[in-house]
């Protein structure tokens, strides 16, 4: 479903990733690689946020040639999310729900399970890093994307939220066949681990471990 053709990403003259040809089937993938290997660069490229050479296709839709249709199918949560400080959590959720054509009330399950209602009326600028992270995760789950990209989703959230996030991932994958690509230096919990395959970013390329 996700296809790389002659993908090349550099920053200036510094090559970061080269993927000649690779197909990634639907599933849950744990992206591993040492610091600076290119995991965030990979996720941002798939998300359509970075310029690169070559092609990335999702269900045969090209991020370059049909960016609008492509981006409708892909949600992304940044490792260190930054939002306008003056907006409230509710306003951010309303904005994303509209953009992602979420069904009415879709956010309720996520907000309730992570007990976020008490602070969503406050401006985002007042949030702790964990509160902000949880908001970014809710936003990434809105709508019915084919792929959800999560860059370091496990950092800053507390232990209880961590296992709830794993449940969100498993549920969304089971119910909507959503593919997940998530990078993490921390090990995934056991339940998620058994359902995951590993994508290794190493020596400037990407391989799917069997």
Cα–Cα distance list, 49 to 45, 61, 194 (Å): 6, 16, 30
Cβ 56 vs Cβ 65: under 8 Å? no
The residue (of 103 and 186) whose beta carbon lies closer to ligand ATP is: 186
Q: In the bound complex, what is the minimum distance in angstroms from residue 197's beta carbon to ligand ATP?
A: 18
Q: In the bound complex, what is the minimum distance in angstroms from residue 44's beta carbon to ligand ATP?
A: 8
Q: In the bound complex, what is the minimum distance in angstroms from residue 37's beta carbon to ligand ATP?
A: 4
The residue (of 97 and 150) whose beta carbon lies closer to ligand ATP is: 150
The residue (of 41 and 75) whose beta carbon lies closer to ligand ATP is: 41
3-state secondary structure of 89: helix
Q: In the bound complex, what is the minimum distance in angstroms from residue 150's beta carbon to ligand ATP?
A: 13
What's 109's DSSP letter? H
Sites of contact with ligand ATP (CB under 6 A): 11, 16, 33, 35-41
Cα–Cα distance list, 24 to 57, 59, 154, 192, 197 (Å): 10, 11, 23, 18, 10
């Amino acid at each position: 479903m996700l296809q790389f053709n002659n993908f090349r990403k550099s920053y200036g003259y510094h090559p970061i990733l080269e993927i000649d040809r690779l197909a990634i089937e639907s599933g849950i993938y744990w992206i591993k690689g040492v610091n600076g290997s290119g995991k965030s660069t990979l996720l941002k490229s798939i998300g359509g946020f970075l310029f690169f050479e070559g092609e990335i296709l999702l269900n045969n839709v090209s991020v370059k040639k049909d960016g609008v249709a492509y981006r409708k199918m892909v949600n992304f949560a940044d490792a260190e999310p930054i939002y306008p400080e003056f907006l409230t959590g509710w306003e951010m959720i309303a904005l994303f729900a509209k953009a992602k054509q979420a069904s009415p009330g879709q956010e309720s399950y996520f907000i309730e399970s992570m007990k976020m209602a008490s602070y969503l009326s406050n401006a985002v600028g007042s949030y702790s890093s964990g509160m902000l992270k949880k908001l970014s995760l809710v936003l990434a789950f809105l709508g019915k994307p084919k792929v959800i990209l999560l860059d370091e989703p496990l950092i800053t959230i507390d232990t209880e939220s961590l296992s709830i996030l794993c449940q969100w991932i498993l549920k969304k994958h089971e119910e909507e066949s959503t593919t997940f690509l998530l990078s993490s230096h921390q090990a995934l919990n056991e339940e998620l681990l058994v359902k995951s395959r590993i994508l290794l970013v190493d020596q400037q390329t990407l391989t799917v471990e069997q």
